Structure 1
Amino acid sequence: MKIIALVTSILRPVRFLIVAFTCALLLLSNAVPAFAIDSYQSDPKEATTQLLDIQRKTDEVERSAPPGLDKVQKESNKGLNEVQGDADIDQMKRPDNTQGAESVEGKIENFLEKVTGKK
């Protein structure tokens, strides 16, 4: 019991700093997501054209008879899938556009080698 009293008496002057640090941490952790507002702001009309084209193709397929296998394969080979085509294909990560990318395991190994000085 005396140990608890001793520890609390020692921490009494530091208590204000602990409370102030905790409050500052809470304030900053709640304010940081607001900084994301200044990041890339897309133009509202930027994707509208692609979405309208996708919607038009979807409506056409919906109104017509079920497409045959040849037609589906021909349309699918144009891009990602039959309806979406190649919309935003340049933004997708796939093996042919990530050949030079380093894996997470490789990055961790490099970091650990730098920290331990083995590299």
Structure 2
Amino acid sequence: MKVSLWEWLPFWRWRVIGQAGSADEVPDRLPRNAVALVGEAGRTKWIIFDCPCRTGHRIMLNADPARRPHWTLNHVQRLTISPSIDYRGSERRCHYFIRSGRVEWAGDSDR
């Protein structure tokens, strides 16, 4: 998956920047507020992005409804992912929602 120069410009809202056939094709670095999809057109398997806390950890969400848990993605107008994303690392907890292209942090997050 190639990321165009245009996508590296700073955007305030979250958006989908492309689709890859496998997770190995997603670049190690993604633009700020950018989501990459993995799978075939119309059948997304994974939603991949760098955590909005900016500490460097990558988030991979299952989007395949045949497996549990799974997240749904709506990016027709502004990116919305549901349910919430709850990352629990050894040193921190990042719990948030992405709704209408914006991050809404949950109160129990260590942000």
TM over 0.5: no
TM norm structure 1: 0.17
Greater Rg over alpha carbons, structure: 1
TM norm structure 2: 0.18
Q: RCO (CA 8 Å, sep 6+): is it higher in 1 or 2?
A: 2
